[in-house]
Amino acid sequence: MDILKLIFGAIWFILPAYTANMFPVFVAKTKFAKKYNKPVDFGIKYGRKQLFGAGKTWLGLIFGIIAGSIIGFLQGTLILGILLASGALIGDLVGSFVKRRFGLERGERAILLDQLDFLIGAFIFSSVIMEINYSYFLVLVFLTPSVHLLANYLGYKLGLKKEPW
């Protein structure tokens, strides 16, 4: 029973980050996004590749943070929700930067980096106001890759993503 309490506690804690990480996929499919969305890096290149890539956009970043913050608010922890959501998306940007440096294109697999960059960012940002719960972190390091792959597969089947990973 204690392990289930730990797993559900960890999921409840990280829910704003999970929400923020997945929300940009939905934003990208809107007509508004197709007309007004711009890359976070403004197309600036570092070497021969964009800093983050065209898939990392201002609307995705802003609305992802808003969505994660709303979840935090509903949980009764608005500031923590903002930090988790912001950290998740900044962590995802760092992951994209690393992928570009290794020559990986948008949508190409980077096992574990794709699944854990946002999680690490969320924990780092949350540490501004609270001590890191390493039990939650370890549970989520093992759980998040499966959750991430399942969510991406569902997004692919629903036509929201081009790749099933």
Q: Answer with the residue of higher pLDDT: 134 or 36.
A: 134
- Secondary structure in 3-state letters for 139-165: HHHHHHHHHHHHHHHHHHHCCCCCCCC
Cβ–Cβ < 8 Å for 115, 148: yes
Enumerate the domain spans of the chain. Answer: 15-133
The reported pTM is 0.90
Question: How far apart are the C-alpha atoms of 40 and 59, rounded to whole Å?
Answer: 9
pLDDT 10s digits, 37-72 = 899 999 999 888 899 998 899 999 999 999 999 999
pLDDT averaged over every residue in the chain:
92
Question: How far apart are the C-alpha atoms of 52 and 39, rounded to whole Å?
Answer: 8
Q: How far apart are the first and last CA of the chain?
A: 32
pLDDT 10s digits, 118-152 = 999 999 999 999 999 999 999 999 999 998 888 87
